[in-house]
């Protein structure tokens, strides 16, 4: 794969992805959900904060599709608003992981030597922690809040991005054309933007979509424990956490937000699978 071929290689990659129906359905679902979350104030049938003590803990009905919570608030409307937080939180965690993981991975791959072994030992140490324990420890230091929880999740996910960047950078940097570019005096910045980034972008896409799912699950788990989203905000995981107390009387309080998490995560993984398959063939035909 040469740098000049890369834009068209990326196009080929996306075209192959577009042929995978299941993954497209996943992408469609995530897009639809995002649009619904953005438009929540316009389409939600009720004010998510409107308390109605005459109708508490009701099951699904034609007036309240997903029932009502312990304060008589409409669960469907609350879920629409919670979708904003769940989606944004996942995005936030992945962006943080990219920020922490990509630059050191790039440096380790280019510089090698001590810089490389230092970053590798650091990722080893991070990966020795059971992931959720590490997240809880970070939250214990920073204090429980959604942003802090997502910083913790970002830290958890960053070693994988770092290793991916490092491996790709190393293999590209040893290619003859990169050595040639360097020998004729091209700057490192030029080499990175022209040669390395185009090659790493596709595998990075795969990892991003899978990790968006992982981050969403992690956010849900932490918010369920009360370590993530704090009231009055609510994410799907936090809704399950609150519904926990009423599991016997109103299981729908748990059922619907949990299903929403599962379906969205499944959609994100399916996108990742599709990207990986599209990528897999790319690798095979190019080597």
Residues 6+ apart with CB under 8 A from 232: 49
Please tell me whether residue 225 binds other proteins under the rule CB under 8 A: yes
Residue 245, CA atoms < 13 Å, CB-side half-sphere: 9
Q: Which of 198, 206, 204 is nearest to 274 (CA)?
A: 206
Nearest-approach distance from CB 237 to other proteins, in angstroms? 7
What are the b/e assignments for 17-54, b being 16+ CB within 10 Å? beebeebeebbebbeebeebbeebeeebebebeeeeee
Nearest-approach distance from CB 77 to other proteins, in angstroms? 21
Please tell me whether residue 136 binds other proteins under the rule CB under 8 A: yes
Residue 133, CA atoms < 13 Å, CB-side half-sphere: 5
Tokens describing residue 14: 């996306």
Please tell me whether residue 17 binds other proteins under the rule CB under 8 A: no
Q: Contact with other proteins (CB under 8 A): which of 11, 15, 19, 121?
A: 121
Please identify, among the stretches 42-50, 55-63, 116-124, 188-196, the one whose residues bind other proteins according to the rule CB under 8 A. 116-124
CB-based contact 235:90 (threshold 8 Å):
no
Please tell me whether residue 135 binds other proteins under the rule CB under 8 A: yes
Q: Contact with other proteins (CB under 8 A): which of 173, 196, 220, 275?
A: 220
Binning the chain into helix, strand and coil, the percentages to the nearest 5 are 75, 0, 20
Please identify, among the stretches 85-93, 98-106, 118-126, 162-170, the one whose residues bind other proteins according to the rule CB under 8 A. 118-126
Q: Contact with other proteins (CB under 8 A): which of 5, 49, 125, 180?
A: 125
The DSSP call for residue 19 is T
253-282 residues near other proteins, rule: CB under 8 A: 254-255, 258, 261-263, 265-266, 269-270
Nearest-approach distance from CB 169 to other proteins, in angstroms? 24
List interacting residues with other proteins (CB under 8 A).
121-122, 124-125, 127-137, 139-142, 144, 213, 217, 220-221, 224-227, 237, 240, 244, 247-248, 251, 254-255, 258, 261-263, 265-266, 269-270
């Amino acid at each position: 794969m040469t740098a000049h071929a890369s834009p068209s290689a990326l196009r080929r990659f996306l075209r192959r992805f577009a042929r995978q129906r299941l993954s497209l359905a996943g992408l469609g679902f995530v897009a639809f959900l995002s649009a619904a979350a953005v438009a929540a104030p316009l389409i939600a049938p009720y004010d998510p904060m409107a308390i109605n003590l005459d109708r508490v803990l009701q099951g699904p009905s034609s007036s309240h599709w997903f029932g009502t919570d312990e304060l008589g608030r409409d669960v469907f409307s609350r879920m629409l608003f919670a979708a904003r937080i769940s989606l944004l939180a996942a995005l936030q965690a992945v962006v943080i992981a990219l920020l922490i993981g990509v630059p050191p991975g790039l440096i380790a791959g280019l510089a090698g030597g001590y810089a490389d072994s230092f970053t590798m030992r650091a990722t080893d140490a991070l990966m020795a922690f059971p992931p959720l324990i590490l997240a809880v420890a970070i939250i214990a230091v920073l204090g429980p809040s959604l942003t802090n929880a997502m910083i913790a999740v970002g830290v958890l996910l960053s070693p994988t991005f770092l290793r991916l960047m490092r491996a790709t950078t190393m293999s590209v940097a040893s290619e003859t054309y990169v050595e040639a570019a360097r020998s004729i005096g091209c700057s490192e910045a030029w080499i990175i933007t022209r040669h390395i980034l185009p090659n790493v972008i596709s595998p990075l896409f795969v990892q991003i979509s899978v990790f968006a799912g992982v981050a969403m699950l992690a956010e849900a788990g932490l918010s369920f424990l009360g370590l993530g989203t704090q009231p009055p905000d609510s994410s799907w995981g936090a809704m399950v956490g609150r519904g926990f107390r009423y599991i016997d009387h109103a299981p729908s309080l748990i059922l619907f937000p949990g299903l929403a998490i599962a379906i969205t995560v499944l959609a994100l993984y399916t996108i990742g699978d599709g990207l990986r398959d599209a990528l897999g063939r790319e690798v095979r035909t190019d080597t």
